[in-house]
């Protein structure tokens, strides 16, 4: 595992005061969420009108779900974060250990489990630690010793060397 220097922002989370930037980011998140909701509603209407499209969409979602499941990460590859949401509540979230903060890992906003508000932007965060300790580095296993040749292999090798010896002697006497 490579060494990563994790970032913190707005610590201590309990005392964090919202900034103008936080208010702007929350507003942009809500507007983006509304645009996406409208696009989803349009797509659902198109799928209701076209069963073939609905089947292609269902199959695409199924393929994505299978792909995502194939990328399961080990517990020692998951970093846990304490984050403060725009609504003021503090929750835990997780991301792959290679990200230095939860926002760059795609966790820009979350649904708050305490107040139920959707799309609450992350305004402050701090790393907690990995979900589990990385496995101990083990010494590489030495290669197995070469296997002993069989009697037949040794006899073939002796015959080949004798032929080579005769050829070289004949060449030298010429």
Q: Among 22-36, 90-104, 126-140, whose mean pLDDT is lowest? A: 126-140
What tokens appear for 53 in the block? 């499209």
Residue 160 belongs to a domain: no
Asked whether the beta carbons of 82 and 90 are under 8 A apart, the reply is yes
Q: What is the pLDDT of residues 47-84, one digit of tens each?
A: 999 999 999 999 999 999 989 888 888 899 999 999 99
Start-to-end C-alpha separation, the chain: 65
Residue 150 belongs to a domain: no
**Cis before 12 (ω within 30):** yes
What tokens appear for 73 in the block? 């990460």
Inter-residue long-range contacts of 152-155, CB under 8 Å, 24+ positions, other chains counted: none
Domain count, the chain: 1
Model confidence at 1, pLDDT cuts 50, 70, 90, reads low
Overall size of the chain counted in residues: 174
Q: What is the pLDDT of residues 36-51, one digit of tens each?
A: 999 999 999 999 999 9
For residue 52, give the H/E element and its range: helix 51-70
Asked whether the beta carbons of 124 and 83 are under 8 A apart, the reply is yes
Model confidence at 143, pLDDT cuts 50, 70, 90, reads confident
Q: What is the pLDDT of residues 87-109, one digit of tens each?
A: 999 999 999 999 999 999 887 78
Q: What is the mean pLDDT of residues 11-32?
A: 94
Residue 155 belongs to a domain: no
Residue 161 belongs to a domain: no
Residue 29 belongs to a domain: yes
Residue 136 belongs to a domain: no
What tokens appear for 164 in the block? 């080579």
Burial class (CB in 10 A: 0-12, 13-18, 19+), 85: buried
Residue 146 belongs to a domain: no
**Domain assignment of residue 20, given as a range:** 13-130
Report d(CA 138, CA 104) in Å as an integer. 32
What pTM did the predictor assign? 0.67
Inter-residue long-range contacts of 163-167, CB under 8 Å, 24+ positions, other chains counted: none
């Amino acid at each position: 595992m490579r060494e990563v220097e994790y970032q913190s922002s707005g610590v201590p989370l309990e005392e964090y005061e919202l900034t103008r930037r936080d208010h702007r980011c929350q507003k942009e998140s809500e507007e983006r969420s509304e645009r996406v909701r409208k696009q989803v509603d349009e797509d659902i209407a198109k799928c209701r009108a076209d069963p073939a499209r609905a089947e292609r969409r269902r199959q695409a979602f199924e393929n994505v779900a299978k792909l995502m499941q194939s990328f399961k990460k080990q517990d020692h590859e998951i970093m846990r974060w304490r984050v403060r949401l725009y609504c003021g509540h503090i929750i835990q979230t997780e991301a792959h250990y290679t990200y230095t903060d939860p926002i760059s890992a795609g966790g820009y906003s979350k649904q708050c489990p305490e107040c139920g508000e959707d799309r609450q932007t992350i305004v402050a965060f701090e790393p907690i630690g990995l979900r589990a300790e990385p496995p101990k580095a083990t010494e590489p296993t030495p290669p197995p010793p070469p296997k002993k040749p069989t009697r037949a292999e040794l006899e073939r090798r002796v015959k080949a060397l004798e032929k080579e010896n005769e050829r070289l002697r004949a060449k030298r006497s010429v």
